[in-house]
């Protein structure tokens, strides 16, 4: 009998201990789930950061490099590559703080100077499931590619030292404020964190493409046309590299757009999907237009169309459904084609690699169409409130247009002022003899192809 | 000795080499060149900019042969390179005053 009562007593003690044990197990389970969520999010975000860096190097480097003449290929690639280094240092010192620190409506503060406090702990204002270090490094890749895009305007004639000084000042004066306004806490245009002019820009149509594209136009007008334009054949030296570059841009852009979900979530999926279909539609659109207009569909046209689509879908990617995404791609294909093949020649500005035609205008088209097609069915960013025109909120088109407008103004004014300063201090255009010799030799003392070495 | 210089269509090179090898000529120098005679070029379009490209890719084949073999070589070469269309190319013949084999300083026909 004693054994039985002992057993009975043990069972009762065990049963009585259950409630407290259960609490602990639930709490452990919650922690584990959060940890798994964070692990998934962080893995995706780190990969996305790498993908976006790849867009600059070698994506943009190859895309732009292949389109210039042989004597300038290295210098054009260097414009992208050197910014991977320069902007990174600037970001680590002050950039992240100025863009994402808490300041006012226009610029952040200095709380994250020298990346102080930016580490493993998440910043719940921006991305609550990943270390702030991940968010910081992800955003850096955007800061790198934005000024690199401008190089399309000044290729084949810019002075390297002037270009470096210009880029540092431009990033400080144009990019950091724009990034803060759209994505920073308290930013004027931030749709989800209290902006007065809520602009929907999922991955940077205004911040990245409009600012750089419009600045590119100003730069191209200021620096003047390349020698030989209109009289010499300024043909791409290696379209093969341009195709490779464009493909790397397409693949890398999934990090740019889908990564802007800041989590490995269904929103990331949606952005990935929208990005892909918009790009496909845009590439075909440009190709078909050329087929009819010129009699042959060019490879350059197809890849240019793809890039135009990628640009236009950037602000819309996490807000629109796949079919509207394709419409956005088609619109970009048509408008950018006209900009590049008709308008540019008509007005005669030498935007050498169409940074304005594709990024400036493509970004503007995308920003406005985001106001049209953004829907809470894809992204309930405003907790039940309607997003774009198709949700019944026509005013969003105006807000997005205003956001785009601010990007235009900031780009134009900032670029003009900085160019004047840089030109007087260092000089912005190379000497005529240096331009004839080719920037590879005159600026860097190298040749891109030594085919008989 | 005669130097025979032929500008031919690039896609005819293998046939020409084969024809020359069949008559015992296996020393030659090949260069990739650009040029045109009466053949029209083509138009290239890059993002709305049109370029007329007149310089067409050709292949230059050069060889030096003894005088007695000159006519035979020219006929074999021309037959192999001919398509009958504009752009087939041309053959030029030069007199050569001396030929030297670098390896052993052999001179004249023996050096060929």
CATH of the domain at B28: 3.30.70.120
Q: What is the Cα–Cα distance from B101 to B64, expressed in whole angstroms?
A: 12
β-strands B89-95, B2-8 pairing: antiparallel
Q: What is the Cα–Cα distance from A348 to A368, expressed in whole angstroms?
A: 27
Does any domain span residue A387? Answer: yes
Please name the member of B44, B47, B53 whose beta carbon is closest to the beta carbon of A340: B47
Q: What pLDDT shows up at residue A1?
A: 56
Q: What is the Cα–Cα distance from B65 to B71, expressed in whole angstroms?
A: 10
3-state SS string for A79-112: HHHHHHHHHHHHHHHHHHHHHHCCCCCCCCCCCC
Is A233 strand, coil or helix? Answer: coil
Chain B residues within 8 A of A233 when measuring between CB atoms: 51, 53
Q: What pLDDT shows up at residue A15?
A: 59
Domain residues for B88? 2-111
- Residues B34-49 have a mean pLDDT of 87
Q: How many domains does chain B have?
A: 1
Q: Are A332 and A362 in contact (CB under 8 A)?
A: yes
Q: Are A403 and A202 in contact (CB under 8 A)?
A: no
**Smallest CA–CA separation between B46 and chain A, in Å?**
7
Does any domain span residue A25? Answer: no
Which residue is closest to A233 within chain B, CA to CA? Answer: B51
Q: What is the Cα–Cα distance from A276 to A1, expressed in whole angstroms?
A: 75
Model confidence over A13-39: pLDDT tens digits?
A: 665 556 678 999 999 999 998 888 899
β-strands B2-8, B29-35 pairing: unpaired
Q: Do A300 and B46 touch (CB under 8 A)?
A: yes
Chain B residues within 8 A of A235 when measuring between CB atoms: 44, 46, 51
Give the position of tokens 């002019």.
A197
CATH of the domain at A331: 1.10.3430.10
Main-chain dihedrals φ then ψ at residue A112, nearest 5 degrees: -105, 25
Model confidence over A35-70: pLDDT tens digits?
A: 888 999 999 999 999 999 999 999 999 999 999 999
Q: Do B47 and A341 touch (CB under 8 A)?
A: yes
Domain residues for A221? 42-444
**Smallest CA–CA separation between A183 and chain B, in Å?**
34
Q: What pLDDT shows up at residue A8?
A: 72
Mutate to test the interface with A, among B41, B43, B46 (most CBs of A within 10 A): B46
Query: For residue B44, what are the β-bridge partners?
Result: B51
Q: How many domains does chain A have?
A: 1
Model confidence over A105-129: pLDDT tens digits?
A: 999 999 999 999 999 999 999 999 9
């Amino acid at each position: 009998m004693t054994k039985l009562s002992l057993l009975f007593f043990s069972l009762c003690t065990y049963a009585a201990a259950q409630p407290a044990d259960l609490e602990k197990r639930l709490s452990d389970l919650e922690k584990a789930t959060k940890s798994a969520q964070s692990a998934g999010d962080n893995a995706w975000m780190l990969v996305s950061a790498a993908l976006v860096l790849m867009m600059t190097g070698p994506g943009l480097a190859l895309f732009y490099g292949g389109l210039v003449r042989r004597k300038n290929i290295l210098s054009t690639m260097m414009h992208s590559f050197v910014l991977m280094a320069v902007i990174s240092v600037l970001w680590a010192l002050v950039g992240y703080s100025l863009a994402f620190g808490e300041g006012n409506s226009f610029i952040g503060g200095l709380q994250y100077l020298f990346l102080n406090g930016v580490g493993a702990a998440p910043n719940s204002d921006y991305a609550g499931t990943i270390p702030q270090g991940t968010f910081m490094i992800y955003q850096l890749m955007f800061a790198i590619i934005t000024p690199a895009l401008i190089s399309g305007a000044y290729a084949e004639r810019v002075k390297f030292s002037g270009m470096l000084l210009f880029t540092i000042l431009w990033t400080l004066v144009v990019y950091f404020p724009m990034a803060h306004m759209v994505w920073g806490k308290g930013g004027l245009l931030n749709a989800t964190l209290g902006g007065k002019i809520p602009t929907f820009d999922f991955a940077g149509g205004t911040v990245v493409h409009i600012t750089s594209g419009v600045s590119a136009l100003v730069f191209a007008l200021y620096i003047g046309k390349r020698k030989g334009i209109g009289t010499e054949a300024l043909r791409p030296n290696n379209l093969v590299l341009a195709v490779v570059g464009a493909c790397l841009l397409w693949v890398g852009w999934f990090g740019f757009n889908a990564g802007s979900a800041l989590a490995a979530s269904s929103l990331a999926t949606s952005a990935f999907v929208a990005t892909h279909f918009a790009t496909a539609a845009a590439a075909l659109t440009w190709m078909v237009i050329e087929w009819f207009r010129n009699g042959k569909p060019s490879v350059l046209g197809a890849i240019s169309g793809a890039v135009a689509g990628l640009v236009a879908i950037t602000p819309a990617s996490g807000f629109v459904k796949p079919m509207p995404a394709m419409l956005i791609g088609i619109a970009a294909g048509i408008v950018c084609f006209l900009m590049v093949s008709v308008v540019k020649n008509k007005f005669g500005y030498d935007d050498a690699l169409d940074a304005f035609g594709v990024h400036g205008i493509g970004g503007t088209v995308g920003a406005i169409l985001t106001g049209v097609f953004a829907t809470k069915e894809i992204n309930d960013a405003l907790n039940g409130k309607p997003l774009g025109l198709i949700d019944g909120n026509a005013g969003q088109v105006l807000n997005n247009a205003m956001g785009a407008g601010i990007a235009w103004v900031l780009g134009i004014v900032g670029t003009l002022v900085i160019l004047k300063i840089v030109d007087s201090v260092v000089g912005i255009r190379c000497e005529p003899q240096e331009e004839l010799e080719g920037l590879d030799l005159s600026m860097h003392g190298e040749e891109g192809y030594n085919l008989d070495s | 000795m005669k130097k025979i210089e032929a500008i031919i269509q690039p896609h005819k090179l293998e046939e020409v080499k084969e024809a020359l090898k069949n008559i015992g000529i296996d020393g030659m120098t090949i260069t990739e060149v650009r040029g045109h005679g009466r053949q029209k070029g083509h138009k290239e379009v890059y993002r709305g900019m049109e370029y007329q490209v007149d310089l067409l890719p050709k292949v230059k084949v050069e060889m030096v042969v003894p005088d007695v073999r000159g006519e035979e070589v020219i006929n074999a070469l021309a037959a192999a390179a001919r398509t009958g269309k504009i752009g087939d190319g041309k053959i030029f013949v030069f007199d050569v005053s001396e030929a030297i084999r670098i390896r052993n300083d052999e001179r004249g026909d023996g050096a060929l």
